[in-house]
Amino acid sequence: MIVSPFGPRERAHTLLELLVALAVLALLALQFVPSWQDRLARRRLEQAAILLHGEMQAARLEALRQGRGVAVRFAIQASGRWCYGASDTGPCRCEEQACRLGGRPQARVDSTTLPGVRLWTNLPDHTLYFGPVRGGTRAGTIFLRSGGLEARIVASSQGRLRLCAQGLAGLPPC
């Protein structure tokens, strides 16, 4: 075994090198954060739209199954808070958790359940009513927004519900 006369070459990292490495990591993180936030907003909106569309479909099917009208009422406050609930005894007050469907209390869905998602409608009285015959309703749209993205649930007068969005890969375009 040959031993170097100069001893083993040990070298420690200086404080300056450590700070440069941390600065590079911070710059990379700054590049990553906006895309991550955009991805979260997209996912949040997609999940909210699919959930709401499914619940509107379920309310329509319940109206057809029971042979009774089902009303889905949206309560929307100026602060951006919102809730909705389905009921077969007339429009319910979801803010009071008074929604019943088929005699069973309904779970409340609101802006705290889906944070970061804004909701509004162009429905009369913010109520979507599915009739007992063929599940027909008044035409209208429910709008969902998160970040700069928007999804829509469009109700036709025949009761058909179409889910669409601009810029969301998982949903058809509006």
105, part of any domain? yes
Q: What distance in Å separates the CA atoms of residue 133 and residue 2, rounded to the nearest whole number? A: 95
172, part of any domain? no
Which residues, given as ranges, of the chain have pLDDT below 70? Answer: 1-12, 32-34
What is the reported pLDDT for 27?
A: 80
Containing structural domain, residue 54: 43-166
pLDDT digits (tens, 9 = 90+) for 88-127: 887 787 777 778 887 888 877 888 888 889 999 999 889 9
Cα-trace Rg, the chain: 26
Three-state DSSP class for 144? strand
108, part of any domain? yes
What is the reported pLDDT for 31?
A: 73
131, part of any domain? yes
What is the reported pLDDT for 91?
A: 75
What is the reported pLDDT for 24?
A: 85
109, part of any domain? yes
CATH number of the domain at 133, please. Answer: 3.55.40.10
**Residue 48 is encoded by which pair of tokens?**
């909210």
Residue 33 CB-half CA count within 13 A: 6
115, part of any domain? yes
Q: What distance in Å separates the CA atoms of residue 161 and residue 122, rounded to the nearest whole number? A: 15
The helix (run of H) or strand (run of E) holding residue 94 is none
Q: To 5 degrees, how large is the angle CA 147–CA 151–CA 155?
A: 155
- In the chain, how many domains are there? 1
CB 70: neighbour CB atoms within 10 A? 28
Q: How far apart are the first and last CA of the chain?
A: 76
59, part of any domain? yes
What is the reported pLDDT for 11?
A: 62
What is the reported pLDDT for 115?
A: 85
19, part of any domain? no
Q: What distance in Å separates the CA atoms of residue 58 and residue 102, rounded to the nearest whole number? A: 12
